[in-house]
Structure 1
Amino acid sequence: MDTLLILLGLLLILAGYVWLIVQAFGRSLFWGIGSLLPPLALVFMLRHWARARHAIGLGALGCIPLVVGLTLLAAQDAARLEAILRLEWLHPEQPARPDLAIRLNGELNGKPFVPEQAELIDGVLSLREGEDFYAHREVQVRLLAPVDGPLRLDVLPDDPGKLPEVEVSWLAPGQDLPEAIRLTRGYSLHLDLTPEAPNRMKGIFHLVLPAQMQTTLSGQVELYTNHLRYRDGEVDTRHDSQDTLAYVVRDYLQRRFSRRDIELGQLPRLEIRHSKLDVPVSFRVGDEPQELQLELVKSETRGWGVQDDRYPKLPDLPPAPSRPSESALSVAPSRPANVPETGLITLQRLQAAPQRFTNRAMRVQTERGRLAEGVFVGLDHDGRLVIRHVMSGAGEASYILRPSEVVSIELLAH
């Protein structure tokens, strides 16, 4: 109804303007041509009111249904009215999410549904329209278990037992909180999804809710299986999500310790709106738990990263050496358990298990040729080596060395 009233009002206004131009041509050719421009048409209306008043009356009559139609539209769908007033209808419609192939036909709560986001994470399938905190319209299917592999599911209205829960929500005009309806049975659902690298699933989605809910969706969907996004085959660190931050931290730790077997603990919930974050990180290197305090920063070009990250890219690891035979094991010399290890060790080994070498005497040579000899205290929060050196007389000094300037590390016997 609102659309018809708006169209009727516009047609009456247009008809009144055409009538005004006809009257202007009846006065003279000059006025007729000039009235094709609205400013000169206004001048003609003021100079020749007797000729123009009937056309003006028709145009004014068209304003009545136009105003009524716009008022009804504002009450029902304020976002649509705003789009009309901003002349967005003059521009060709752009796909909401060109990176996801979503081709669904149907409606949600009696209105067309065009999802812009689609996910299947932790056993919850979500189709979402709108990128605000609360979706304008959303369909969620809570599966009975997380999905690991292909998914094929068929549910009919009369099926017994425990079934996936379906929730439909929508944000009504003028409301701050969405309305939602949950169903545990009485619906039809068909899913046939297959995984696609690196983090997507693709296939058929078919959902029919009871008739009074006016919700029917059918077609092809493509969904993300986590909150990572990829660009040219690499993780896009510019995307704001907890999964992105976890990836950045894990990659940093792997390069810092030159090991891929880093087990990262759960990161705290972070305010990703900020461009700098102080993050306490718990992780395990092999069997040894460790903790660090990292500062994550975001740049417009490179995305999220760790502050002062200068560690090189982790090289491809060589294949694991073959297991020696029993004869080789029997003749291989072994170090007595009570004799401490001495000699050269690698920086990567020290970084991987610093607790193992705490309070051990060592000599470190830097790239400038200097020697730092003393007792290894550990790594500080920036990953630098701290070596305590007892000076002659009372007092002691500490060497703090960056990993990038260390050339060799030698364990001493004393």
Structure 2
Amino acid sequence: MDTLLILGGLLLALAGYAWLVMLAFERGPLWGLACLLPPLAPVFLARHWGFARKALFLGALGCIPLVVGLAMLASHDSARLEAILSLQWLRSGPVAAPELDIALRGELDGQAFAPQQAELIDGVLSLREGQDFYAHREVRIRLPAQPRGALRLDVLPDDRGPRPVVEVSWLAPGADLPEAVRLGSGYSLHLDLRPEAPNRLRGDFHLVLPTEYRTTLSGRIELYTDRLRYRDGQVDTRFDSADTLAYVLRDYLQRRFPGRQLELPETRLEPLGPILQVPLDFSLDGEPQHLDLELGRSASRGWTVRGDRYPKLAPRAEASVPAAEPQPAAPQPGNAARPLSLERLQAEPQRYVNRGMRVTTERGRVAEGVFTGLDPNGRVVIRHLLTGAGQASYSLRPAEISAIELLPQ
């Protein structure tokens, strides 16, 4: 609708300007040639207002649907409006290829769905459209476990037994929080994904929700299986993610202690600034060790350990691993979210600080992130990490919370 209003307004404005030029030629060829140059058109209007004002009124009439269409576009797709107003579509030069090969047909909540981000991490398949804090539209499929190798899964509406949970969310125009629905049954799902080196899955994706949700998606997707990015076959340390920081730390220790048996516990650092102080405990040949390291980020080298002067390890031949046969995801004990009562959280908030948490409100909205505590007003504060560097926090009143789930560590 917004596109039709914008196009209609532009056509009316152009028709008004063309009419003005025609009227100017009726007054004389010099006036007509002058009006072909927009800066001189006001001169003709001033000299022949009574004769030319009808063309101006037609052009002004086109401004009404143009402004309304731009306002509607800004309310639900600000990035697209910014690209239009900045005239990026007029600039010459090569167009950057999309990071992932995603070709989906269909709609989400009755609107076209064109995700730019896709991943399958910790058993959650996510397709996300929009770069803002809240996705414009998003599909999440919570599998019983993170698959290893290929993934093939078929679910029908009448199937019984454990099934993935499907979450669909969308940000309505003018809304502060996205609307969301969760379905544990009644949908159709087909996944046929095969691994591609180094950290991607690619294949067919089909999802059909019940009619009232107006969501049907079908096509081909490509997604990441971790939050590492590669450049020329090497890990790109300029990408901000917890997986990048863990890779940099492990690589540093392996080069500092070559040939030693290294055991590094699971670390979850977040790139919240250009410099990070990291107290690191690890095991070396079975003996506990401790180092205080400093991670820094530069535009050219990305994340590095300050003072790192250790040489690179010689490349090792890697044994080829046959591709795993496609297997349906099987549930694993202890890898599912656990319910948590609001009363227990309020009684012992310090016990759950820095734990992954998913909170559902009475209106069906879902907030997921890391629990950081209760604010002075007793609200539940959740920290949500952005795709790139940075974070955002939001708080929820206890009265609007309907369910709380602890995410697996």
Report the AA paired with residue 312 of structure 1: P
- Secondary structure of the 1:153 match is strand
In structure 2, the partner of 1:362 is none
- Is 1:295–2:298 an aligned residue pair? no
In structure 2, the partner of 1:307 is 306
- Is 1:46–2:46 an aligned residue pair? yes
Write out aligned runs for 1:202-213 (5 A): 202-213=202-213
Kept in 2: contact 1:281–1:292 (CA 8 A): yes
Write out aligned runs for 1:309-348 (5 A): 309-315=308-314
Kept in 2: contact 1:237–1:244 (CA 8 A): yes
Q: Distance in 2 between matches of 1:140 and 1:241?
A: 20
Q: Distance in 2 between matches of 1:222 and 1:93?
A: 26
In structure 2, the partner of 1:8 is 8
Kept in 1: contact 2:246–2:268 (CA 8 A): no
Residues 1:244 and 1:3: Cα distance change in structure 2 (over 3 Å):
closer
Kept in 1: contact 2:261–2:286 (CA 8 A): no
Q: Distance in 2 between matches of 1:126 and 1:70?
A: 30
Write out aligned runs for 1:87-236 (5 A): 87-90=87-90, 98-236=98-236
Task: Give 1:264 deviation, angstroms.
Answer: 0.9
Kept in 2: contact 1:266–1:282 (CA 8 A): no
Q: Which moved more, 1:117-126 or 1:53-62?
A: 53-62
Residues 1:83 and 1:157: Cα distance change in structure 2 (over 3 Å):
same
- Is 1:280–2:284 an aligned residue pair? no
- Secondary structure of the 2:11 match is helix
Task: Give 1:220 deviation, angstroms.
Answer: 1.2
Task: Give 1:18 deviation, angstroms.
Answer: 1.4
How well do the aligned residues superpose, as a CA RMSD in angstroms?
A: 2.5
Task: Give 1:83 deviation, angstroms.
Answer: 4.2
Q: Distance in 1 between matches of 2:123 and 2:76?
A: 35
Q: Distance in 1 between matches of 2:200 and 2:76?
A: 36
For each residue in 1:14-56, what CA deviation from the matched residue of structure 2 results, as whole angstroms up to 9, or x when unmatched? 2221121111111111111111011211101101223212222
State the identity as a percent: 65
Task: Give 1:316 deviation, angstroms.
Answer: 5.7
For each residue in 1:94-121, what CA deviation from the matched residue of structure 2 results, as whole angstroms up to 9, or x when unmatched? 9886232211111111111111111111
Task: Give 1:74 deviation, angstroms.
Answer: 4.7
- Is 1:56–2:46 an aligned residue pair? no
Q: How many residues align?
A: 317
Higher alpha-carbon Rg:
1
Gaps of 5+ in 2: 318-409
TM-score (norm 2): 0.72
Kept in 2: contact 1:97–1:117 (CA 8 A): no
Kept in 1: contact 2:252–2:308 (CA 8 A): yes
Q: Distance in 1 between matches of 2:96 and 2:185?
A: 32
TM-score (norm 1): 0.71
- Secondary structure of the 2:218 match is strand
In structure 1, the partner of 2:256 is 256
Kept in 2: contact 1:284–1:290 (CA 8 A): yes
Residues 1:194 and 1:92: Cα distance change in structure 2 (over 3 Å):
farther
- Secondary structure of the 1:101 match is coil
In structure 2, the partner of 1:34 is 34
Gaps of 5+ in 1: 319-414
Q: Distance in 1 between matches of 2:304 and 2:77?
A: 42
Q: Distance in 1 between matches of 2:45 and 2:274?
A: 59
Structure with higher RCO (Cα < 8 A, 6+ apart):
2
Q: Distance in 2 between matches of 1:76 and 1:300?
A: 33
Q: Which moved more, 1:240-249 or 1:54-63?
A: 54-63
Write out aligned runs for 1:74-93 (5 A): 74-75=74-75, 77-90=77-90
Residues 1:132 and 1:15: Cα distance change in structure 2 (over 3 Å):
closer
Kept in 1: contact 2:76–2:136 (CA 8 A): no
Residues 1:176 and 1:258: Cα distance change in structure 2 (over 3 Å):
same
Report the AA paired with residue 241 of structure 2: S
For each residue in 1:290-312, what CA deviation from the matched residue of structure 2 results, as whole angstroms up to 9, or x when unmatched? 22111111111111111111112
Task: Give 1:76 deviation, angstroms.
Answer: 5.4
In structure 1, the partner of 2:265 is 265
Task: Give 1:80 deviation, angstroms.
Answer: 4.5
